[in-house]
Chain A
Amino acid sequence: MAMHKISVTVNGAAREAEVESRLLLVHLLREVFRMTGTHVGCDTSHCGACTVILDGNPVKSCTLLAVQADGCKITTVEGLEQGGKLHPVQEGFTEKHGLQCGFCTPGMMLSSVALLERNKNPSEQEIREAIAGNLCRCTGYVNIIKAVQYAAEKMR
């Protein structure tokens, strides 16, 4: 079985691992690094619960090999809080009741963070489009959008 030595930067920290070719990025994060904030939802590239930010772009970590992330910078939900202070997007989800069961929340927040890094003042339509790859089965989209708008205002 082919093994590969990889190094990645996860939430600013350099990490190394020896991985099988077929190991998925989401399993590297959850099972090797024990960072379980990144969720596995559908496991079929539909739901976006496994979203992480890879070199600035939100991607589905269940549809990427860990070895493909070699040398890359990864942000997971664990990396949003800085020095005990919530990221404005996290604060928005809290203030605006942007979650019910919370399962989609890490992915929703990472897609939102990536959007706000690219677009400081997104319209409601732009927010809807940015989270189109993340499914909320509680269907709490209205408050998710309010949460992102809250964060956008806070970050301006």
Chain B
Amino acid sequence: MIPAPFDYHRPSSLDEAIGLLTKHGEQAKVLSGGMSLLPTLKLRLGSFAHLVDINRIPGLDGIKEEGGALRIGAMTRQAALERSELIRKKYPILADAVPLIADPLVRNRGTVGGNVANGDPANDQPAIMIALGATLVARGPKGERTIAANKFYTGLYETALARDEILTEIRIPVPPAKSGGAYQKLKRKTGDFAVAAVAVQMTLDARGAVASCGMALTNAGPTPLEAAEAAKFLTGKTPDAKTIAEAAKMAAAKCNPSADHRGSVEYKKDMARVLAARALQTAFERAGRG
């Protein structure tokens, strides 16, 4: 399959890229890893007259802790995250999730920024960033601004990014002691999107009760779904089987998935409940060790 014709631009700086987006408006699309965009163009589900390839812009990738935040450059490949010692040691929620994204060939190209900015509720990292309380950094013609991950997703494939803005970085607060996270995903096979998936990040206080909890679900509606009530319900409690089951039920009740070849609405909601309980339990255990 061949995409419809387009012009290809390879800017060497962010300003040049933003200039191209400003100039071409609705006709332009940012090309990051291309793992969603190229199939879209090939299947002609969408077309753009101008692709702005940001792959060669220096400084857009990297994984480092700085100023109390884990900073992940938008162009960081999923494979780099997967191989990062820092991620493996301190961010189990990401260490759980990345090997479950697509397949290894796709992860060699696909980027964290693309996964986050695409606005596809089936992508895994949006829910994870919400659970982690991440801040998304965007650059546009007027400069830089930050957007909380849980305010970023406005609709199916719609985000708070303006047409002439580029997501440049994701900032995740460095978790304090006694923190743990988990990502639980059910998929039919490698490369498939989730039937349901749940992201949890938790911090415990000195008594072992939940000091704070972030929780969000993948593929549970038109946007990634924050399970704020369930997280709030757990705050201040020491999770046991009963409270975890109750919180999982609350999270699943908020789901609004659509029936498709991955299952019925009832099945998906029930899987969300099961996965939520597992993610909460695992995050809790990890936080206790952390």
Q: Which residues of B contact A45 (CB under 8 A)?
A: 35, 38-39, 106
Interface pair A129/B105, CB less than 8 Å apart: no
Q: Which of A62-70, A77-85, A89-97, A144-152 contacts B (4 or more CB under 8 A)?
A: A62-70
Q: Which residues of A contact B16 (CB under 8 A)?
A: none
B4-22: which have CB < 8 Å to A? Answer: 4-8, 10
Which of A20, A48, A68 has the most CB atoms of chain B within a 10 A radius of its CB? A68
**Size class of the contact patch on chain B:** 20 to 34
Contact of A59 with B by CB under 8 A: yes
Interface pair A133/B34, CB less than 8 Å apart: no
Contact of A105 with B by CB under 8 A: no
Interface pair B35/A63, CB less than 8 Å apart: yes
Q: Which residues of A contact B109 (CB under 8 A)?
A: 57, 59-60, 63-64
Extra contacts besides A59-B109, A65-B38, A133-B106 (4): CB < 8 Å: A2-B6, A2-B8, A4-B8, A45-B38
Contact of A15 with B by CB under 8 A: no
Interface pair A133/B42, CB less than 8 Å apart: no
Interface pair B5/A21, CB less than 8 Å apart: yes
Output the least CB separation between A133 and chain B (Å): 3
Which B residues have a C-beta under 8 Å from some C-beta of A? Answer: 1-8, 10, 31, 34-35, 38-39, 41-43, 51, 53, 55, 79, 99, 102-106, 108-109, 190-191
Q: Which residues of A contact B55 (CB under 8 A)?
A: 68
Our pick among B4, B51, B108 for the contact of A59 (Cβ within 8 Å) is B108
User: How far, in whole Å, are A111 and B105 apart by their CA atoms in the complex?
Assistant: 8
Q: Which residues of A contact B7 (CB under 8 A)?
A: 2, 21
Contact of A139 with B by CB under 8 A: no
Our pick among A22, A46, A58, A130 for the contact of B4 (Cβ within 8 Å) is A22
Contact A48/B38 with A2-B7, A24-B2, A68-B53 known, Cβ cut-off 8 Å: no
User: How far, in whole Å, are A27 and B53 apart by their CA atoms in the complex?
Assistant: 20
Output the least CB separation between A114 and chain B (Å): 9
Output the least CB separation between B12 and chain A (Å): 13
User: How far, in whole Å, are A5 and B193 apart by their CA atoms in the complex?
Assistant: 37
Interface pair A132/B103, CB less than 8 Å apart: yes
Contact of A1 with B by CB under 8 A: yes
Interface pair A22/B3, CB less than 8 Å apart: yes
Q: Which residues of B contact A4 (CB under 8 A)?
A: 8
Interface pair B34/A132, CB less than 8 Å apart: no
Looking across the interface, which residue of chain A has its beta carbon closest to that of B106? A133
Against B, the Cβ 8 Å flags (1 = close, 0 = not) of A2-38 are 1010000000000000001110100100000000000
User: How far, in whole Å, are A1 and B79 apart by their CA atoms in the complex?
Assistant: 34
Looking across the interface, which residue of chain B has its beta carbon closest to that of A55? B108
Q: Which residues of B contact A111 (CB under 8 A)?
A: 104-105
Output the least CB separation between B23 and chain A (Å): 15
User: How far, in whole Å, are A58 and B107 apart by their CA atoms in the complex?
Assistant: 10
Q: Which residues of A contact B104 (CB under 8 A)?
A: 58, 111, 129-130, 132-133
Q: Would you list 24 pairs from A and B whose C-beta atoms are within 8 A, ordered by A residue?
A: A2-B8, A20-B5, A21-B8, A21-B51, A22-B2, A22-B3, A22-B41, A24-B42, A45-B35, A45-B38, A51-B105, A59-B109, A60-B109, A63-B109, A64-B38, A68-B34, A68-B53, A68-B55, A111-B104, A129-B99, A130-B104, A132-B191, A133-B102, A134-B105
Contact A22/B105 with A45-B39, A64-B34, A68-B55 known, Cβ cut-off 8 Å: no
Contact A43/B1 with A4-B8, A64-B38 known, Cβ cut-off 8 Å: yes
Q: Which residues of B contact A64 (CB under 8 A)?
A: 34, 38, 109
User: How far, in whole Å, are A43 and B44 apart by their CA atoms in the complex?
Assistant: 13
Output the least CB separation between A75 and chain B (Å): 14
Q: Which residues of A contact B103 (CB under 8 A)?
A: 48, 132-133
Contact A63/B5 with A57-B79, A132-B103 known, Cβ cut-off 8 Å: no
Interface pair B6/A60, CB less than 8 Å apart: no
Our pick among A46, A58, A63 for the contact of B191 (Cβ within 8 Å) is A46
Against B, the Cβ 8 Å flags (1 = close, 0 = not) of A109-151 are 0010000000000000000011011100000000000000000
